Amino acid sequence: MGKPKALIAFMPDRVDAAFLAGCPKLRVIAAALKGADNSDLEACTRRGVWLALVPERLAAPTAELALAFLLALTRRLLAGDDHVRSGAFRGWRPQLYGTGLAGGTLGIVGMGSVGRALAPRAAAMGMKVVYADPRPGPVEYGRVPFEELLAASDFVMPLAHLTPGTHHLIGAAALAAMKPGAYLVNVGRGSLVDEAAVAANLAAGRLAGRRPRGALNDPRPGPC
């Protein structure tokens, strides 16, 4: 088989100078990705390789996934599933109280295509939506400074572009500025969030969403 002239790239694929050197006949890359994080654009340009992206294609599915994660956390679906599968379930008990979304404030950090898809879905569920973004977005949602968003939101979703300035945007300082017991859901770039800081805040109980270990013997409402 000869060297390819075109290829389809996915999330695990890395297109860099070394890769391109091994594909001298390559002329076009169709990336099933929103951004170009996995590709060296300068290397592609030097070799005359076209790179095609799908910036809007994944917006709606990602927004739906974000809501699915949020519902799973707030309604403690995974903890309930674990409880039933463990064989410990013996009928209804005052356990696994959840948190409702209606009336809560969702803070979206970065009102790009995913944020614009997420906001109306969240609003339809009765949530108040605010967002932080250097550029104005839809007028029906409140645009606030980043620090104000953190302090006001019951649920925070970072959806900003990953740049040197947004790397670990949600770190120790941002987490300390959030409401105690707030939920954090990241369906954006992984490096927007400092995972070690998130783990520490979950362990300390400042962030909601930690799955329980052992028997479910606490009937009181609270974070999972």
The string of pLDDT tens digits covering residues 32-89 is 777 777 788 888 899 899 988 877 778 899 999 999 999 999 998 888 888 888 888 8
Are the C-beta atoms of 156 and 184 separated by less than 8 Å? yes
Q: Any idea where the domains of the chain sit in the sequence?
A: 6-52, 59-204
Are the C-beta atoms of 97 and 220 separated by less than 8 Å? yes
Exposed/middle/buried for residue 132 (C-beta within 10 Å: 0-12, 13-18, 19+): buried
CATH class, range 59-204: alpha beta
CATH for 6-52, options being 3.40.50.720, 3.30.70.360, 3.40.50.12710, 2.60.40.1180 = 3.40.50.720
Sign for the CA dihedral angle at 69, 71, 74, 79 comes to negative
The edge-to-edge listing of strands for the beta sheet with 28-31 is 6-9, 28-31, 50-52
pLDDT per position as a tens digit, 3-21: 778 988 887 888 889 988 8
Predicted structure pTM score: 0.79
Task: Tell me if 6-52 shares its fold with 59-204.
Answer: yes
Considering just the CA atoms, what is the radius of gyration of the chain in Å? 21
